[in-house]
């Protein structure tokens, strides 16, 4: 465990060094988050306008219990949610695709920029449209497995949550190279998924036991404290006696979580490029050594 932690920490530091030398890379996830939120709000507003702004929550709760109009209301709600999720995912993939291209250029000693990376990503828009659809569909399927937790069977709820978490982790691992393969090699989404899975098997064999060792340090010093602040703030606010303290804690926790999430997504995108080159032909890019790259994916001992 100590060796695995040390390897993950070193990889994270190396990736952070690349980002620190090229701070414009952080603009990709920031812009992606802002545009994704705007897209969701606009589409949500449009859906609300179609349904009528009054009693939307009531319509959602009782849609299945009413006549054809209510059934249509339910359909509109589902379509609105799916389209909003798809657009947010597409925006994220396009921006992160730009980051992948810039990371590839910088790791190979060539200068890049936000505009150059984004332009290269838009050149793969057709494949990204398909990849975003797959990602959105998988997200919905995982949500269906997870359930809404409204049932009375606590054991079933836990089993479903664990199953959804394991499936999400497996999906994240086998698709780790998909975006770089689309952006750097022009593969379609299905071909990229197959190639990503094949690269993992050919390089690390059938002993895969987990995800890629990167971001653990950020998790420790960023995400966990952010969650603690957020939960503490919510609990204090619910208690009601010290709301003035609870709200600032919630804000601090949310800000820390956002910053940590942006940093983790940037580090993973940068490292995915270096790891892809290593998995394909053993090339060492940037500050990463063959030993670090080889030990990056968790395998069974």
Distance of CA 238 to the CA centre of its chain: 30
Number of domains forming the structure of the chain? 1
Most distant CA pair in the chain, distance: 64
105-109, 167-171, 185-189, 208-212: least confident range: 208-212
pLDDT grade for 59, boundaries at 50, 70 and 90: low
Return the half-sphere exposure (C-beta side, CA atoms, 13 A cut-off) of residue 23: 1
pLDDT grade for 286, boundaries at 50, 70 and 90: confident
Return the half-sphere exposure (C-beta side, CA atoms, 13 A cut-off) of residue 58: 4
- DSSP character at residue 282: -
Provide the pLDDT for residue 7.
60
21-30, 43-52, 207-216: least confident range: 207-216
Alpha-carbon span 254 to 263, nearest angstrom? 14
Range of the domain at 223: 2-299
Report pTM.
Answer: 0.83
- How much is the average pLDDT of 192-206? 87
What is the DSSP secondary-structure string of 53-102?
STTHHHHHHHGGGS-HHHHHHHHHHHHHHHHHHHHHHHHHHHHHHHHHHH
pLDDT for 217-262, tens place per residue?
666 666 778 888 888 888 877 776 565 677 788 888 888 888 888 8
Alpha-carbon span 39 to 289, nearest angstrom? 40
9-23, 217-231, 275-289: least confident range: 217-231
Strands (DSSP E) found in the chain:
208-212, 297-299
Provide the pLDDT for residue 60.
52
pLDDT for 35-55, tens place per residue?
999 999 999 888 878 776 555
């Amino acid at each position: 465990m100590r060796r695995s932690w040390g390897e993950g920490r070193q990889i994270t530091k190396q990736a952070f060094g690349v980002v620190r030398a090229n701070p414009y890379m952080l603009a990709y996830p920031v812009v992606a988050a802002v545009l994704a939120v705007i897209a969701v709000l606009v589409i949500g507003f449009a859906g609300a306008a179609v349904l009528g702004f009054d009693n939307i929550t009531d319509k959602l709760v009782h849609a299945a219990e009413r006549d054809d109009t209510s059934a249509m209301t339910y359909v509109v709600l589902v379509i609105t949610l799916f389209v909003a999720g798809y657009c947010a995912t597409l925006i994220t993939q396009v921006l992160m695709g730009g980051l992948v291209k810039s990371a590839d250029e910088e790791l190979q000693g060539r200068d890049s920029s936000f505009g150059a990376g984004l332009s290269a990503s838009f050149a793969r828009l057709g494949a990204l449209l398909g990849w975003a659809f797959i990602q959105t569909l998988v997200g919905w399927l995982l949500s269906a497995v997870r359930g809404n937790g409204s049932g009375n069977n606590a054991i079933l709820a836990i089993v479903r949550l664990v199953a959804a978490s394991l499936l999400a982790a497996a999906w994240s691992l086998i698709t780790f190279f998909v975006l770089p393969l689309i952006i750097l090699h022009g593969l379609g989404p299905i071909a990229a998924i197959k190639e990503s899975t094949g690269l993992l098997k050919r390089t690390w064999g059938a002993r895969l036991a987990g995800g890629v060792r990167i971001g653990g340090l950020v998790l420790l010093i960023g995400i966990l404290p952010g969650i603690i602040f957020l939960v503490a703030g919510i609990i204090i606010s619910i208690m009601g006696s010290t709301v003035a303290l609870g709200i600032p804690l919630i804000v601090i926790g949310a800000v820390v979580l956002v910053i940590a999430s942006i940093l983790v997504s940037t580090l993973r995108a940068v490292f995915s490029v270096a790891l892809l080159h290593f998995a394909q032909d053993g090339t060492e890019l940037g500050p990463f050594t063959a030993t670090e790259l080889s030990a990056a994916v968790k395998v069974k001992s």
